[in-house]
Amino acid sequence: MSEEKRYFQPEWETMPADKIKEHQSKLLVEQVKHVWDNVPYYSDLMEKKGVRPEDIKGIDDICKLPFISKEDLRKAYPYGLLAVPLDECVRIHSTSGTTGQRVVAFYTQEDIDLWDDCCARAIVAAGGSEKDVCHVAYGYGLFTGGAGLNGGSHKVGCLTVPASSGNTERQIMFIKDLNATILCCTPTYAAYIGETMKEMGMKPEDIPLKAGIFGAEAWSEEMRRDIEQTMGIKAYDIYGLTEISGPGVAFDCEEQTGMHINEDHFYAEIIDPNTGEVLPEGTKGELVFTSLDKKAFPLLRYRTRDICVLNRKKCSCGRTFIKMAKPMGRSDDMLIIKGVNVFPSQIESVLLKKGYQANYLITVDRVNNADTFDIDVEMTPEMFSDNVSVISAREKEIVDALKSMLGIYAKVHLVAPKTIARSEGKATRVIDKRKLW
Ligand code: DLL
C-alpha cells in the first residue's frame, strides 16, 4: 500500500505523543469553558465538586472534573446537556438502550464532519481507498452505525452501498454483483452473512470482500478468526458509542492488537469502577471518555461502563494513538453467578475454541435461593448428531472447559443447528430471569 493511503490524516494519526498531549490540553481548556458557559447542568456539577474553568490548565487537570454518567444523561433528557443553540444542530442519534429513558445526542455540521473523519480513518486503516466498494449493513436510523460508516466511506471516496441491515440474501446478491470489497456491520451479522453464504455454496474465494469493519458489540478473537476464514477477509474491530459520537472513537489497524483511539478528538482514562480512582496504563478497569472538540453535545469524563485496558506500546502501523484492548464486556453486562463474575465473552471464547460458532444463549435464574446457569449451544451442521452418547460427551467437554475457566459449573445443552435466533444487529446472549423478581 502506498504511504499516502496508509492513513487518512497522517499528520494527526502519526503525531508524536507529546504533541498530541499539547493539542489535548488546549482543547480541554476550551471545552471546559464551553460547557461552563453554555450548560447549566455541567456548571452545577462542577460547582458541587468545587472546580471552576480556571482550575483546568491542561489535560493533567482532567481528574479534577466530575464524572458524568448515563444517569445524568437520562436526567437531562432531551435538551439538558445541549451546548449550542438548537438551530445550530443538524442531526440527532439515539442509543439502542432497552432500559429506562433513551439517550439523545445532538450534532452540529462540524461535529458530523469530525465524526466522518474518524470513520474514514478506520476504513483507510482497513485498506480502503476510492477504488473500494463499501457495503454498509449496520442499521441506518437512530443508531449511529449506518450513518457513521456511511459518512466515513464518502470521505474516503469509496462507492458506498447503504444497505442497512436485514434481507440477508439480498445483501449477498449486492455484495457479489457490485463487487463489494469492504463490509461494515456487527460481528454477529457478519457471522450470519458468512453462514448464509456457505449455505448458498459460496467459498471464500467466490466472495469479493477483502476486509470487514465490525463493531458495536463485544466479540472474541476466536469469532474474528472464524469470520475471517469463512469469508476470506481480514476483520477489523471498530469501537464507539452514541454519547461520544458513534463508531470510530477507536479502530483497528493491520496489527489487530487493539484499537487506536482517535486521541486528537477523544481523551481516554481507565478508572476503578468502584472508587473512581484513575488507574495506571495497562490496568483493567472502566473506560472513561472526554470529547475534546464536539460542540453540540460535549461530554466530559463520561463513564462508558465498558471494561478494558489501554496501552501505548509502539505500533508497527506507525500510528501513535494509544490503543484500547477489545472491551471484555460492560460492567453492567457482567453476570454474577454463584458469586463469580462471568462475562459472556469468556463463554464465547471457550465455545469457539472448541469449534462451535457464536450461536449460544445464556440463561440465569434463581431457584430455591441458588443460582442456575444454563447455556444453550448450537451444534454446527458438520458436528450435528442425534446420538445421545455423542451429544453427552460433547456437552461434558464444554462443561469441563467452562469449569476450568470460570470455576463454576454450567449446564450445557447442545441444540440442533439454526435453532437459536440470529440477529441482524447487536446479539442478545443473556436472559437473566433473576432481574424480573
Ligand atoms: O454501538 C456505535 C457503533 C456502531 C460502534 C457501529 C461500532 C460500530 P451504542 O449503540 O451507543 O453505539 O453502543 C455503545 O456498544 O459502550 C460498548 O459497550 C459497545 N461496543 C461498541 N463497539 C464495540 C466493540 C454503538 N468494538 C456500546 N467491541 C459501547 C465491544 C463495543 N463493544
Give the model confidence (pLDDT) of 103-152 as tens digits.
899 999 999 999 999 999 999 999 999 999 999 999 999 999 999 999 99
Residue 428: per-residue pLDDT = 85
Atom number of ligand 1 nearest to Cα 426: 1
Instruction: Kindly tell me the burial class for residue 356, based on how many C-beta atoms sit within 10 Å of its own C-beta (0-12, 13-18, 19 or more).
Output: buried
- pLDDT at residue number 320: 98
Q: How far apart are CA 128 and CA 5, in angstroms?
A: 8
| Res 333: pLDDT | 74
pLDDT exceeds cutoff 70 at 69: yes
336, exposed or middle or buried, with CB in 10 Å at 0-12, 13-18, 19+? exposed
Give the Cα separation of 427 and 187 in Å (integer).
9
* Ligand 1 residue neighbourhood (C-beta within 6 Å): 95-96, 138, 144-145, 215-218, 237-242, 246-247, 304, 306, 326-327, 330
What pLDDT score was predicted for residue 332? 73
Reported confidence tier of residue 434, pLDDT bands at 50, 70, 90: confident
Atom of ligand 1 nearest to the CA of 103: 11
CA 266/CA 66 separation, integer angstroms: 17
Tell the residue nearest (CA) to atom 21 of ligand 1.
216
In degrees rounded to 5, what are phi and psi of residue 279?
A: -100, 150
Collect all residues with Cβ–Cβ distance below 8 Å to 209 and sequence separation of at least 6. 135, 175, 180, 181, 182, 183, 231, 232, 233
Ligand 1 center to 215 CA (angstroms): 6
8 A C-beta contact, residue 63 and residue 49: no
Q: What is the pLDDT of residue 154?
A: 98
User: CB–CB of 137/164 below 8 Å?
Assistant: yes
Q: Which pLDDT does position 99 carry in this prediction?
A: 52
Record the cell numbers describing residue 198, joined without a space: 456457505
Residue 4 clears pLDDT 60, i.e. is over it: no
Alpha helices in 207-250 (DSSP H): 221-231
Q: 394 C-alpha vs ligand 1 centroid, how far in Å?
A: 33
* Cβ–Cβ under 8 Å, residues 237 and 251: yes
Q: What is the pLDDT of residue 369?
A: 81
What are the backbone dihedrals phi and psi of residue 236, each rounded to the nearest 5 degrees, phi first? -105, 135
Q: Which atom of ligand 1 is nearest to the CA of 238?
A: 26
| Closest C-alpha to ligand 1, atom 12 | 241
Alpha helix segments (H runs only) across 39-107: 40-48, 70-75
Radius of gyration of the chain (CA): 22
Whether 134 and 208 have beta carbons less than 8 Å apart is answered as: no
Query: 432: helix, coil or strand?
Result: strand
Cα 118 to ligand 1 centroid, rounded to whole Å: 15
Tell me the CA distances in angstroms from 23 to 20, 30, 61, 255, 334, one per residue in order.
Answer: 5, 11, 14, 26, 36
Out of 165, 217, 243, 262, mutate this one to test ligand 1's pocket (max ligand atoms within 8 Å of CB): namely 217
Structure confidence at residue 100 as a pLDDT band (50, 70, 90)? low
Q: Between residues 310 and 3, which one has the greater pLDDT?
A: 310
**If you measure from the C-alpha of residue 247 to the centroid of ligand 1, how many angstroms do you get, rounded to a whole number?**
7
Sign of CA dihedral 217, 222, 223, 225: positive
Whether residue 37 is predicted with pLDDT greater than 70 in this model: the reply is yes
Q: CA 249 to CA 141: how far, in whole Å?
A: 19
Cross-strand pairs, 105 = 93
How do residues 382-397 score in pLDDT, each as one tens digit? 899 889 999 999 999 9
Give the end-to-end CA distance of the chain in Å, rounded to a whole number. Answer: 57
User: To the nearest whole number, what is the mean pLDDT of the chain?
Assistant: 94
Sole residue written with cell 454474577:
336
Q: Which atom of ligand 1 is nearest to the CA of 213?
A: 8
In the chain, the domains with their CATH numbers are 1-327 (3.40.50.12780), 335-432 (3.30.300.30)
Q: What angle do CA 232, 233, 237 make, to 5 degrees?
A: 145
Cα–Cα dist 414/359, whole Å:
11
Which residue among 99, 103, 241 is best mutated to probe the pocket of ligand 1, counting the most ligand atoms within 8 A of its Cβ? 241
Given this model, what pLDDT does residue 354 score?
94
The pLDDT assigned to 1 comes to 43
Judged against a pLDDT cut of 60, whether residue 3 lies above it is answered with: no
C-alpha cell at 415: 441444540
Tens digits of residue pLDDT in 197-212: 999 999 999 999 999 9
118, 262 Cβ separation under 8 angstroms: yes
For residue 339, the model assigns a pLDDT of 80
Mean of the pLDDT values across residues 251-263?
98
Give residue-wise pLDDT tens across range 156-178: 999 999 999 999 999 999 999 99
Residue nearest (by alpha carbon) to ligand 1 atom 14: 241
57 Cβ contact partners less than 8 Å away, ≥ 6 residues apart: 25, 29
CA distance 165 to 141: 11
Tell me how far the alpha carbon of residue 85 lies from the centroid of ligand 1, in angstroms: 28
- Give, in order, the Cα–Cα distances in Å from 104 to each of 143, 270, 295: 10, 25, 15
Section 360-376 average pLDDT: 92
Q: Which atom of ligand 1 is nearest to the CA of 243?
A: 11
Residues 322-354 pLDDT 10s? 999 999 877 777 788 888 888 888 899 999 999
CA of 312 to the centre of ligand 1 (A): 22
